[in-house]
A and B are shown apart, each in its own frame.
Chain A
Amino acid sequence: MNINNKQITLHDMCLRDGMHAKRHQISLTEMISLATALDDAGVPLIEVTHGDGLGGNSLNYGFAAHSDEEYLSAVIPLMKQARISALLLPGIGTVNHLRMAHELGVSTIRVAAQCTEADVTEQHIALSRNLGLDTVGFLMMAHMLEPGELLEQAKLMESYGANCIYCTDSAGYMLQDDVYARISALREGLKPETEIGFHGHHNLAMGVANSLTAVEAGASRIDGSAAGLGAGAGNTPLEVFNAVATRMGATTGVDVFKLMAAAEEIVVPLMDQPIRVDRDSLVLGYAGVYSSFLLHAKRAAEKYGVPSEQILLTLGQMKTVGGQEDMIEDVAINLAKGK
Chain B
Amino acid sequence: MVNNKVNIAIIGSGNIGTDLMIKALRSPMLNPEWMVGIDPDSDGLKRARSLGLKTSDAGINELLRHVEADKIQIAFDATSAYAHREHNDKLQSKGVKVIDLTPAAIGPYCIPSVNLERLMASDNQASPINNFNMVTCGGQATIPIIAAISQVQGVEYGEIVATIASKSAGPGTRKNIDEFTRTTASAIEQLGGAKQGKAIIVMNPATPPLMMRDTVHCLTETTPNQQAITDSVLAMVKQVQQYVPGYRLKNGPVFDGNRVSVFLEVAGLGDYLPEYAGNLDIMTSAALGAGEMLARQLSGQPQTHIE
B254 to chain A: which residues have CB within 8 Å? Answer: 329, 333
Is A324 in contact with B263, judged by CB distance below 8 angstroms?
no
The verdict on A319 contacting B181 (CB below 8 Å), with A58-B200, A324-B204 known, is no
A59 vs B181: C-alpha distance in the bound complex, in angstroms? 15
A333 vs B178: C-alpha distance in the bound complex, in angstroms? 32
B180 to chain A: which residues have CB within 8 Å? Answer: 91
Give A160-194 as 1s and 0s: 1 = Cβ < 8 Å from B's Cβ atoms. Answer: 00000000000000000000000000000000000
A330 vs B32: C-alpha distance in the bound complex, in angstroms? 40
Is B263 in contact with A321, judged by CB distance below 8 angstroms?
no
B87 proximal to A (CB < 8 A): no
Interface residue ranges of A311-339 to B (CB < 8 Å): 318-327, 329-330, 333-334
B161 proximal to A (CB < 8 A): yes
CB distance from B228 to the nearest CB of A (A): 21
Residue from the list B159, B177, B217, B256 in contact with A90, Cβ < 8 A: B177
Give A294-307 as 1s and 0s: 1 = Cβ < 8 Å from B's Cβ atoms. Answer: 00000000010000
B220 proximal to A (CB < 8 A): no
Is B203 in contact with A117, judged by CB distance below 8 angstroms?
yes
Is A91 in contact with B203, judged by CB distance below 8 angstroms?
yes
Give B181-213 as 1s and 0s: 1 = Cβ < 8 Å from A's Cβ atoms. Answer: 110000000000000001011111110001001
Is A320 in contact with B159, judged by CB distance below 8 angstroms?
no
Nearest residue (CB) in B for A92 is B200
A4 vs B217: C-alpha distance in the bound complex, in angstroms? 52
Looking at A16-24, A119-127, A198-206, A241-249, the stretch in contact with chain B turns out to be A119-127
B252 to chain A: which residues have CB within 8 Å? Answer: 333
B166 to chain A: which residues have CB within 8 Å? Answer: 116-117
Nearest residue (CB) in B for A61 is B200
Is B201 in contact with A319, judged by CB distance below 8 angstroms?
no
Most chain B CB within 10 A, of A92, A114, A144, A322, is at A92
B28 proximal to A (CB < 8 A): no
Is A59 in contact with B202, judged by CB distance below 8 angstroms?
no
A120 vs B166: C-alpha distance in the bound complex, in angstroms? 11
Is B250 in contact with A320, judged by CB distance below 8 angstroms?
no
Considering only CB atoms and an 8 Å cut-off, how many residues of chain A contact the other chain? Answer: 33
Interface residue ranges of A89-126 to B (CB < 8 Å): 90-92, 94-96, 114, 116-117, 119-120, 122-124
A324 to chain B: which residues have CB within 8 Å? Answer: 161, 163, 202, 204, 213
Is B205 in contact with A116, judged by CB distance below 8 angstroms?
yes
A5 proximal to B (CB < 8 A): no
Nearest residue (CB) in B for A60 is B161
B202 to chain A: which residues have CB within 8 Å? Answer: 91, 114, 321-324
A321 vs B174: C-alpha distance in the bound complex, in angstroms? 17
Total contacts A to B, CB within 8 angstroms? 100
Interface residue ranges of B76-101 to A (CB < 8 Å): none
Residue from the list A114, A122, A319, A326 in contact with B175, Cβ < 8 A: A122
B219 proximal to A (CB < 8 A): yes
A330 to chain B: which residues have CB within 8 Å? Answer: 213, 215, 250-251, 263
B181 to chain A: which residues have CB within 8 Å? Answer: 91-92, 94
CB distance from B268 to the nearest CB of A (A): 19
The verdict on A319 contacting B206 (CB below 8 Å), with A92-B200, A326-B161 known, is yes
Is A114 in contact with B182, judged by CB distance below 8 angstroms?
no
A90 to chain B: which residues have CB within 8 Å? Answer: 177-178
A19 vs B159: C-alpha distance in the bound complex, in angstroms? 21
Most chain A CB within 10 A, of B161, B215, B219, B251, is at B161
Nearest residue (CB) in B for A320 is B204
B171 proximal to A (CB < 8 A): yes
A334 vs B250: C-alpha distance in the bound complex, in angstroms? 9
CB distance from A57 to the nearest CB of B (A): 8
Residue from the list B200, B205, B251, B256 in contact with A60, Cβ < 8 A: B200
B259 proximal to A (CB < 8 A): yes
Nearest residue (CB) in B for A145 is B205
Interface residue ranges of B224-281 to A (CB < 8 Å): 250-252, 254, 256, 259, 261, 263
Residue from the list B174, B182, B215, B251 in contact with A94, Cβ < 8 A: B182
A318 vs B204: C-alpha distance in the bound complex, in angstroms? 10
A123 vs B206: C-alpha distance in the bound complex, in angstroms? 25
Residue from the list A95, A120, A333 in contact with B174, Cβ < 8 A: A120
Residue from the list A114, A119, A326 in contact with B171, Cβ < 8 A: A119
Residue from the list A144, A321, A327, A334 in contact with B213, Cβ < 8 A: A327
CB distance from A325 to the nearest CB of B (A): 8
B157 proximal to A (CB < 8 A): yes
A95 to chain B: which residues have CB within 8 Å? Answer: 178
Interface residue ranges of A73-98 to B (CB < 8 Å): 90-92, 94-96
Is B210 in contact with A120, judged by CB distance below 8 angstroms?
no
A58 vs B161: C-alpha distance in the bound complex, in angstroms? 10
Nearest residue (CB) in A for B202 is A323
A323 vs B200: C-alpha distance in the bound complex, in angstroms? 8
A232 vs B70: C-alpha distance in the bound complex, in angstroms? 61
A115 vs B206: C-alpha distance in the bound complex, in angstroms? 12
Residue from the list A119, A123, A329 in contact with B178, Cβ < 8 A: A123
Is A59 in contact with B157, judged by CB distance below 8 angstroms?
yes
CB distance from B194 to the nearest CB of A (A): 12
- A-side interface residues toward B, CB under 8 Å? 58-60, 90-92, 94-96, 114, 116-117, 119-120, 122-124, 144, 303, 318-327, 329-330, 333-334
Can you list 22 A-B pairs, Cβ within 8 angstroms, ordered by A? A59-B217, A114-B202, A114-B204, A114-B205, A116-B205, A117-B166, A117-B203, A122-B174, A123-B178, A303-B256, A319-B210, A321-B206, A322-B202, A323-B200, A324-B161, A324-B202, A326-B161, A330-B213, A330-B215, A330-B263, A333-B252, A334-B251
Given contacts A323-B200, A324-B204, A327-B163, 5 further A-B pairs with CB under 8 A are A92-B181, A119-B175, A303-B256, A324-B213, A333-B252
Instruction: Please name the 9 residue pairs, one residue from A and one from B, whose CB atoms are nearest each other, closest first.
Output: A319-B206, A326-B215, A323-B202, A116-B205, A59-B217, A94-B178, A91-B201, A326-B161, A330-B263
